[in-house]
Structure 1
Amino acid sequence: MHHRSPFAALAGATVLVTGGAGLVGSRITARLRVLGARPVSLCTMDAYPNHVYTGLFGVDRTDPDVVTGDVRDVPLVRRLVAESDYVVHAAALADVAACTRDPLAAIGTNIAGTQTVLDAVAAAGDRVRRMVFVSSASVYGDGSPEEASHPDLVTMRQLLEAVHGRIPPQFHEGHRMRPVSVYGNTKVWGEEQTAVVLGQVGISYAVVRYFSVYGEPQTVKRGSHSWVVAWFAARASLGLPLHLNGGGRQVRDLTHVDDIAEGTLRALTSPRAHAETVNIGTGTATSIRDVAELVRAHYPGTELLGTPLPAGDPLGGYASVRRMESVLGWRPEVTVAEGVARYVRWLRDTPQAAPGWLRENALA
């Protein structure tokens, strides 16, 4: 029996991806090309040095469908949206530490920029078949005690408490949002504003909450404490110790960028995703210490150092995946052990991905 591809609607469609030159955006646009769509990227391309975009993320800056620009540029955003069948709004100041250091920059990109995109989508009327707003597990913060004590989770809780010394909450889409960072706050606003603006004019939308994205060709930024797999692998490859902020007790649901891209495109096309909010995660809790041990297995002798917990760094939890499986008919495929091994292999083949300033630290 022939099953229609869940992505059949994308063949020949124009899909605007804001933030399309970033790690996730570049993976989404590459997948769209394979599916026969025409992706258009809008990106400031100032989050990384140029060689990261062109050499690591594979962005062709000479391509007319790669537009260097800001999501707050009203005429530009209106023009691009008016020519698009679908919109994935992934542009954001997505670094938790950077948002904490400069809240006004976070408000500019994540709030004013999102409003500009929403206004353009609303103005485009029936032209846009669906917009996906990219949100984050940071909207859940550290969860709440009543959520962690759900009777269905008792056995899992006992197991996790034995492993992690605390009970990491399982985050369900219906839980109250309790962000503990500026970044998380901007994502709460973006989710609610998407529902308000597009709901009023009857344009289809979906919200995806990414859990901790990792995977090749992710590369680290100075002053950031996000992207733990990339940080640990880069440091271990240079013989530097791995810093376990807060002892590494924080829990993340590490989700490979290939699975993040797949889940996003399913949310863009699945009929059941209309007006839904869906976690994109694996449903597995992995502590930061677990990640360090997985990386250390590839770089024996790597030292682990306990360091203080930075402001705005949530203790975290893991995704409930029931709604994702039901709405998208899918679940992520890459395990953390497999994903870490893939990243280490890629880093060995691409040593320039460990930035120069980190190498200087190793030589100091």
Structure 2
Amino acid sequence: MFDVPSDISARKLEGATVLVTGGGGLVGSRIVAQLSRAGAHPVVLDRFDAYPHPVRDRFEVDRHAAQVVLGDVRERATVEWLVSRADFVIHAAAYADVAACTRRPEIAFAANVHGTQSVLDAVAASAVRRLVFVSSASVYGDGASDTVPRFSEDQPLTPISVYANAKAWGEHQVRLMLARSGTEHTIVRYFSVYGEPQVPKPGSHSWMVPWMAMSAQAGQPLRLNGGGTQVRDMVHVDDIARATVLALVSDGAASRTINIGTGVPTSVREIGELITAHFPGARLVETPMPEGDPRGGCADTRRAADLLGWRPTIALPEGVDRYVAWLKATPDAVPDWFTASTTASAVLAA
């Protein structure tokens, strides 16, 4: 992990209370850890039900948070109480599964639209200094280029999934509501996040590094949806967390939207090949393209460098090496449902 620069932490975060909604997830827990090391008092609001298996201890949120509140961002009284005590807010809570949002758009609406509105209502009526809204590169859709798109923050948004559409709405609502309040805002668009101790969710086509690595370790083929031609900009969770904390306190980030990516396009097939190199005998298989899965692209990273002074520090080969090493050293991280599903697949294929 990487510490927030000392000049920023001393000036803005030392002793500050930072509410992190969704702070119990992979990214949120890493943000909480970095806030704690910067001298802040991170407060977590999370339902802890994003996975069908326990991850709270693995993500170590209780180790770094000053307070953990089990609750929902749609619970207005809880949100208002927590926001009233906060100096800053990072709104990372979301139903963050593209496939699940497509299957259950009503749940995506409840969490990603209703929940975001609840947070914005509380923040707009508070003395919070700045809100960082966590958005997604999925808002760009497929882009208009026949070559690999390089997405810039000012281009039109063309979301092609329920999840992306909810994130695009959230961005517009943040600008609309906070522009006339005393609270600053920054929007960060995450590209493809990965890194230990990430674990997959059943029925999802996201989180490809853990899906592929765990499949290879279980002796099952690695699925390449659509043949693996889609392009992703893979960003390690430690780099993502550091950029988010910088967005919270960097003066130039106020009222801006900022890509958080590496600027390096990598095909899904190339990611699979990086993983199979660690598992002799592992094989890749082509499977159909899921609904709402974008062809993808990479980030224009100039604004992150200019406004945050941020650049990624963990290249994808190193990040994959780290993930596989962690997985091999932590075999109990593989959830029971994953083991059961891969065993059933092996039986059917026999």
TM-score using structure 1 length = 0.91
Aligned counterparts of 1:305 and 1:221: Cα–Cα separation in 2: 20
Structure-1 separation of matches of 2:258 and 2:163: 19
1:48 and 2:36 are equivalent in the alignment:
no
SS in 1 for 2:62: coil
Distance 1:308 1:38 in 2: 46
Q: Does 1:114 align with 2:116?
A: yes
Mapped to 1, the partners of 2:45 and 2:182 lie a distance apart of 25
3-state SS of paired residue (2:54): helix
Q: One-letter code of the match for 1:24?
A: V
Give 2:59's aligned residue: 57
SS of 2:255's equivalent in the other structure is coil
Encode CA deviations 1:196-225: one digit per residue, 9 max, x unaligned: 000011310000000000000100111000
Structure 1 runs (4+) deviating above 4 angstroms are 61-64
Alignment-derived partner of residue 337 in structure 2: 357
Letter in 2 for 1:131: L
Q: Give the Cα separation in 2 of the matches to 1:351 and 1:19.
A: 26
Q: Residue in 2 aligned with 1:153?
A: none
Q: Gaps (5+ residues) in structure 1?
A: 146-165
Q: CA deviation at 1:61?
A: 9.3
CA contact (8 A) 1:7 1:266 kept: no
- Return the letter of the residue paired with 2:110: G
Q: Does the Cα contact within 8 Å between 2:36 and 2:65 map onto a contact in 1?
A: no
Partner of 2:25: 22
* Residue pair 2:32, 2:65 contacting (<8 A) in 1 also: no
The verdict on how the C-alpha distance between 1:144 and 1:121 changes in structure 2, with shifts beyond 3 A counting, is same
Q: 1:105 aligns with which of 104, 107, 110?
A: 107
Distance 1:215 1:5 in 2: 27
Q: Which residue of 1 aligns with 2:214?
A: 234
Residue pairs, 1:293-304, within 5 angstroms:
293-304=273-284
Q: Does 2:328 correspond to 1:348? A: yes
For 1:134-158, what per-residue CA distance to the aligned partner results, in whole angstroms no more than 9, with x for missing partners?
Answer: 000000000113xxxxxxxxxxxxx
Query: Does the 8 A contact of 1:17 with 1:41 survive in 2?
Result: yes
Q: Secondary structure at the match of 1:200?
A: coil
Change (3 A) 1:59 1:193: same
Which amino acid letter does the alignment assign opposite residue 58 of structure 1? E
Counterpart position of 1:33: 36
Counterpart residue number, 1:137 = 137
Aligned counterpart, 1:248: 228
What SS class does the counterpart of residue 224 from structure 1 fall into? Answer: coil
Distance in 2, Cα, partners of 1:323 & 1:167: 22
User: Matched residues in 1 for 2:56 and 2:100: separation?
Assistant: 19
Change (3 A) 1:4 1:216: closer
Distance 1:330 1:246, change over 3 A: same
Change over 3 Å in CA distance of 1:294–1:81 after alignment to 2: same
Letter in 2 for 1:11: E
Native 8 Å contact 1:283 1:320 kept in 2: yes
Q: 2:283 matched to 1:284?
A: no
Letter in 2 for 1:188: A
AA aligned to 1:329 is G
> What does 1:255-274 align with in structure 2 at a 5 Å threshold?
255-274=235-254
Structure 1 range deviating more: 41-50 or 106-115: 41-50
For structure 2, the 5+ residue unaligned runs are none
Q: CA deviation at 1:354?
A: 1.4
Question: Residue type matched to 1:28 in 2?
Answer: I
Distance 2:102 2:342 in 1: 27
**TM-score of the aligned structures, taking structure 2 as reference length:** 0.94
What is the distance in 1 between the residues matched to 2:84 and 2:102?
A: 34
**Residue 68, structure 1, aligned to residue 48, structure 2:** no
> Secondary structure of the residue that 1:348 maps to in structure 2?
helix
Percent of residue pairs bearing the same amino acid type: 56
Counterpart position of 1:160: none
Kept in 2, the 8 Å contact 1:97–1:312? The answer is: yes
Residue 10 of structure 1 pairs with residue 13 of structure 2: yes
How far the C-alpha of 1:361 sits from its partner, in A, is: 3.5
Paired letter, 2:258? V
What amino acid sits opposite 1:122 in the alignment?
Answer: A
Q: Which amino acid aligns with 1:350?
A: T
Q: Does 1:321 align with 2:301?
A: yes
Partner residue of 1:123?
Answer: 125
How far apart are 1:179 and its partner, in Å? Answer: 0.4
Instruction: Give the residue type in structure 1 aligned to 2:75.
Output: D
SS at the partner of 1:116? helix
